[in-house]
Amino acid sequence: MLKIGSTLVLEKMNETDREEWIRYRAKVIELKDGVIYIDYPINEQTKRTDIFPVGTFFKAMYVTEGESVFTFRTDLIGRAILTVPSLKLRMPKQEDVTKIQRRQYVRIQTSADVAMYDAQTDVPPISSVTVDISGGGLSLLLPEKHAFTEGMQVKLYIAYYLQKSGPGFLEATGSIVRIVKNERSGKNTASIEFLEIHERDRQAIIRFCFERQREQRKKGLRIR
């Protein structure tokens, strides 16, 4: 259940690069009369607020104290002055709020060390870091010069850290779904879907994602 004090993650499509979603964080400061009042969202990359015209659409997500994840779509319907300047988002109907099961693999923007090898040819391997990761796959940064292409099957070696068990390493086979150049940074990223991964390793990634998500949520609350 969304409540006052919850951290709301908002995603908005980048108007200049429709392959990219821009992610923001905001805190819920009031809930009444079919309206969600939030403080001004902070862009996760720039750490600054942006300007949002009325009518801007968002994908929203929040995590309950029991670590259940819920998502819904909403739009900006106005502005208000409460204890702080705030934005007014449309409250979704209960039937429009979806609980994300863990098997749907919540994606987390975080850096993890990863090495990628071509599974079938002699393409030179690369060492990189993830842009985001989930139990279903990941995105990673590509160097300026590389020989990887869309549709290629690759082997991945991923390093991660869990609070209880400490550092870990896993191996997975994946397929490069797409390679996209970020218009702002000029860097290429490869989106990879896992094809073969031990279920134990998949669960470790899911645990890693939820731990990072909890840390990010706490950090966001401290900043505010």
Provide the CATH number for the domain around residue 154.
2.40.10.220
Q: Measured over all CA atoms, what is the biggest interatomic distance in the chain, rounded to whole angstroms?
A: 61
> What is the rounded average pLDDT of the residues 119-126?
82
Same domain for 63 and 131, yes or no, is no
Q: What is the pLDDT of residues 27-63, one digit of tens each?
A: 999 999 999 999 999 987 788 898 899 999 998 988 7
Inform me whether the pLDDT recorded for 16 exceeds 80.
no
> How many folded domains does the chain comprise?
2
Same domain for 123 and 51, yes or no, is no
Instruction: Provide the CATH number for the domain around residue 41.
Output: 2.30.110.10
Tally the C-alpha atoms within 13 A of residue 136's C-alpha that lie toward its C-beta.
10
How far apart, in Å, are the Cα atoms of 53 and each of 57, 152, 193, 199, 223? 10, 41, 35, 44, 25
| Domain final residue, candidates 100, 130, 151 | 100
Amino acid at 179: I
| Domain final residue, candidates 38, 67, 100 | 100
The whole domain housing 181 covers 113-215
Contact 41, 87 (CB under 8 A): yes
pLDDT band per the 50, 70, 90 thresholds, residue 202 = confident
pLDDT at residue 104, as a whole number: 56
> What is the rounded average pLDDT of the residues 115-128?
86
- In 3D space, the residue among 124, 135, 133, 139 whose CA is nearest the CA of residue 182 turns out to be 139
Same domain for 84 and 132, yes or no, is no
